[in-house]
Amino acid sequence: MAISGGLILLAHLLDQPGLLLAALAVAARPIVGKAWAELASRRAGMNVLMLSAAIGAVFLREWNEGAMVLFLFAIARWLEKMSGEKARSSIEALRSQMPAQAHLILPDGREADVLAAGIQVGDTIRVKPGERLPLDGTVTAGQSTVDESALTGETQPVAKEPGQPVFAGTTNGTGTLQVEVTRPVEASRFSRIMLSVQEAQAAKTRLQTSLERFADLYTPAVIGLALLVAVIPPLAGLGPFPTWIHSALVLLVIACPCALVLAAPVTLVGAMAAAARRGILVRSGDVLETAAGVRVVAFDKTGTLTVGDPDLLDLVPLSPRVDRSAALTLIAALESGSEHPLARVFIRRAAEAGLALPAVDAFTAVRGQGVEGLIAGRRYRFGTPEWAGALCPTLPPVLPPERAACLTVSVLCDEQGPLALASLGDRLRPEAAAVIADLPAHGIIHTVLLSGDRHETAREFGLAAGVQESRGRLAPEAKGAHLADLAARYGPTLMLGDGINDTPALAAADVGVAMGTKGTDAALATAGAVLLHDDLRRLPLLLAIARRTRTLIRQNIALAVGLKLAVFGLSLAGYATLWLAVLADTGASVLVVANGLRALGDPPLPLRPAGSRPGANASPRS
């Protein structure tokens, strides 16, 4: 490209037309092979068009225009290559920073630096302050904060302590961590993200395939039309052959589908790279194309719309003999001997409050009912209202109505009567209400909560979150059937879920989106997009990226077609030269590439519709 450009410049400076032929030959060399390959496969592509135009220019002794045709075409192809590399650079930059070695802790306690690829599941590694983690694992010793922004888009460092997961590609803070490896290098979350992004960027979307198929039919038609333009008008006495052959060559050049074929891929690759940088993994360009037209968003409840961890929602004293702290102390003391999953909720809350737990004697755990024991010589029961209340049958507990959202309503009793009522349940994500209030600004006309939980529970959480429809007692297959019904009534659907039971719905929806941190492997494999950080605010961001991508692709198609039509009109009127046609074709490609690369930036987020509710830390209340 540089050589042919230099020869063209010298030809004009030295007034040596022969150098133009040399420039044309140099520029034609890579194009001839590609044009021959196109003809060998019985298809005429853009290389055939450009080479035909250049050969025609030579026969017309328009050497300058022929050389410019191929030189500017080479510039267009170079710009296409550079745009693709720039769109992928944000992902490749992170890949290049991954550590090749890890600090392996040997059985005798010594430390050895070994290749990360050689680390086995179950090995323990040490991660020092400021280092990037080479593998996924679980913290076994040490405390620190980890910057997960490169993987999840979360800007705030995340505190890590023993028992918590850490991921390859994230950066350790100021503490030293010992990590037990849970996945080999090739199976880490980072590696799976890289593989998915590569596959997504390599795959062609339905729109790309349609444009390329159109180009395959369009190019032979243009060649045929150019032959007619070159032959019929002169035979009809409308002008000399050279004039109409020149117009036919302009038609060949201006009709080259370079910019049209570039309209989608540059934009889609940039959009997927932008989404990945913001903690959203998009598995294919088709997902973005479909998400741009989504009209219905369906949510799973547990772990998606809610936090997914049971917590103490309320603790209400039922007797003047105890206050809230005293009740929590007694309950935590009783639960400290229990293996029930909910027991740790009370123990954690007591520890957070700095409460000292008394000793418990004669402890008994009754499966499905609760716990019982002696504290300071007094017998207590904590569990189901019926069982705990049996300790004082002469004075049954007077309980407030059970809240539908609770997983468990338990009562603390002694032999004199009920002391306290504890309500345990899940909590709505703090950002849920604000996110759902923002969805109409992204083209969503209907929201629905699909849950396998009780109807009352689903309805109460749905009301707190602001969804328009709530359905409970749905089997996994029933969620998929309900999505099909919603699609028939409203249009394309998006399902957001995290569990194995959500996989049928994720597959049935037009777009399936999984919560990445707590999502099961089945949900992550089924979904078309993954929110790498469990933050619902990334859902409107995904929709904004998708809608902007669609807008940019439409703009690119309009630019590619509109500019070519304008120059072809000038050609028919006798005002367009061959090099101007090439310049217009190259200009269209440059504009399409430049416009497509805007997808790498932040999408404009619409303002919340007037009258929508702010996203307070909402929890269901009966």
Catalytic residue annotation: 300
Query: How many CB atoms within 10 Å of residue 349?
Result: 17
On whether the CB atoms of residues 411 and 423 are closer than 8 A, the answer is no
Nearest CA-CA partner of 552 in 137, 75, 83: 83
Bridge partners (DSSP) listed for residue 127: 177
Q: Helices in 324-445 by DSSP H: which ranges?
A: 324-335, 343-352, 385-389, 432-438
Tokens of 421: 């009522």
DSSP state of 132: B
Tokens of 155: 């800007």
Burial (CB count within 10 angstroms: exposed 0-12, middle 13-18, buried 19+), residue 394: exposed
SS3 of residue 584 by DSSP: helix
Contacts of 382 (CB under 8 A, 6+ apart): 330, 331, 334, 335, 370, 371, 372, 388, 410, 411, 412, 413, 422
* Whole-number Å distance between alpha carbons of 279 and 469: 28
Bridge partners (DSSP) listed for residue 533: none
The type of residue at 205 is T
Transcribe 442-480 into DSSP letters.
GT--EEEEE-SS-HHHHHHHHHHHT-SEEE-S--HHHHH
On whether the CB atoms of residues 270 and 604 are closer than 8 A, the answer is no
**Residue written as token pair 């396998």:** 452
On whether the CB atoms of residues 223 and 233 are closer than 8 A, the answer is no
SS3 of residue 414 by DSSP: strand
Query: How many CB atoms within 10 Å of residue 607?
Result: 9
